[in-house]
Structure 1
Amino acid sequence: MADCPGYSLSGVAASLLFILLTVKHPDEFRVTGPALPVLAKVGEDALLTCQLLPRRTAAHMEVRWYRSDPDAPLIVHRHGAQVAGLQVEGYRGRVEWTEDSADEGSVSLRIRQIHPGDDGQYWCRFQEGDYWGEASVLLQVAALGSSPNIHIEGPGEGEVQLVCISQGWFPEPGVYWEGSWGEKLLSFSENHMLGEDGLFYVEDTLVVRNDTSETISCSIYNRDLKEAKEATIVLPEKLQTELATSRVTGPSQPILVRIGENIELTCHLSPQADAQSMEVRWVRSHYYPAVHVSVDGAHWAGEQMAEYRGRTVVMPDAIHEGKLTLQIHDARISDDGEYRCLFGKDGVYQEARMDVQVMAVGSTPHITQEVLKDGSMQLRCASHGWFPRPHVLWRDGGGRAVPSLSEAFHQESQGLFQVETLLLVTNRSVVNVTCSLSLPGGEEKAARLPLSGW
């Protein structure tokens, strides 16, 4: 029995500890958000709401809305008033605090003029003293793009390419091709690209036989909005149009141009036809965005790639004969590569491809020499400012090629190449060597080093 008092005391202490752990702090609360995502279309307003539980006024609390960092809030309310100077860039003037049921702890954030960058998770935090609770709200941004347009590219022997294009979609949509009987057709290629406005541009290509009599449709579907837009093309009708039996030709050889010079891309419609009422489009790998678009003889700037704005002009001297030349001013390294010139009318396009090779001739090589411990000579040849990567060649005094010990190329931030090559000379009968660097177009720079007396 002597142990009973101690046993009772331990039991009381355990009970008190249990009570302390299970009784809630008088300031304790929780926050809830909507069970489902909030869906908002681009350009409209979105209303995000969260609820304080148990329901009570939040006028004496601090409430803040933020994305990923509480210290970078969209808006902060403290003791019933908005706190100035804390709002993160990008939401100033676009967010508004609403308190339709503030006495019951319900607060809302209105975001005006929704754009794709607003898509994602938001947090609503209530804080009272040192205690806080928060809930997340998922905002799904959506945009229904333009009605698709199907055009034909390059009707020729055996097959044609159908290209379905549309723009202004968010998030990335699904694209489906169907034949006359509703059968699914597989895309040959897909290009879904984010534009400067954060919306998706869609360019899907389907390859079919050119003797088909089918009606083919292209549907573009927004999964969030559960809405689609569709276009249909009747192939036999399109293959009877003016351009279906024409072709476009361009230069057969690469166009060589130095950095800073003008590039001229000329294409001809054959047989000759007046191109004044046609769409002529110069592009790189995809239909959109374009290097330059000319519609009815006028520049169509809305679809031009940012890097070509203000740098292109069409010289339409022979447009009535179906000949146009696009001039690109101030050639730069990014202009290097393949271009496509498309003539289009009534949804049918013919194209020619041409290759532009941008060049930069670098500095005159500089050769330095070093005598090694074994008595051999190591020569180092360096140069910079080349594009594309130059061909390096060492020659002896008789003009014979000598294999280099090593070659190293480094591409600078501007895209130009630095070159360093080493040559090991062990034959003392060699009296001079030449280091030369050359480009595919034949441009060359060389340096000669006498080796007498080593």
Structure 2
Amino acid sequence: MTCFYLPEPKIIGVTEGSDVTLPCSLSSREDIQGKRFEWKKDGQEVFLYDGSPLSGQDLQFKGRVSYFKEELKNGNASITIRDTKRADNGIYTCDFPYLQPKRQTFHIQLVFGAAPEPSVATLNQTIDWALLQCVVRGASPKPKVEWQDGSGNILPAEEPQVSERGGRYDIILQTTVTKTDRYRCVATQEEINHQVHSDTYVLMNGQWFLYLQIILIIYK
């Protein structure tokens, strides 16, 4: 029996009405100007190319898809879908059916409302503590937002500030930390198997002072 491994699709979040680029590039960066590649979604023809763009595109995507002509020589078969609609939601494949030595296929999942990368900031800091803030905007479904330390431990945080508009959620989560470390804000949407994070590094001034004292003692 032969088993095939299908990699998890790369997830890209998008808001309705915006433009989105679906990435597809050969790691070899070989020239694909004269090669065939096909973009499809659930059996629908999204974009076909074989030395030049081909007809046969599904009506749903007609007039809304463009490619990067000047990048073909670098192995870049990415496309841009303009004015995205809810119906565009789903899994896309970028397929090089006749590529040698073997065929290559890439999978992209386009998800409406997927949480973008959180925005993190240090709001206030003293010698002993720092107040960190994480902001996630326009996410749907509602994500779970957490702060973690450098070891992956979940940190206690204040009650999140949540606002909802048109089924999309903005969430602000603050936490107070007391030691030098790398801290991570994680937004998880289990319903769509999507998780993103942003990191920030905090150096406590009190520890700087301690290091300075140690250096002075050593070189005294």
The alignment's TM-score, normalised by the length of structure 2, stands at 0.49
Higher strand share: 1
Q: For the pair shown, which has the larger CA radius of gyration, 1 or 2?
A: 1
The alignment's TM-score, normalised by the length of structure 1, stands at 0.26
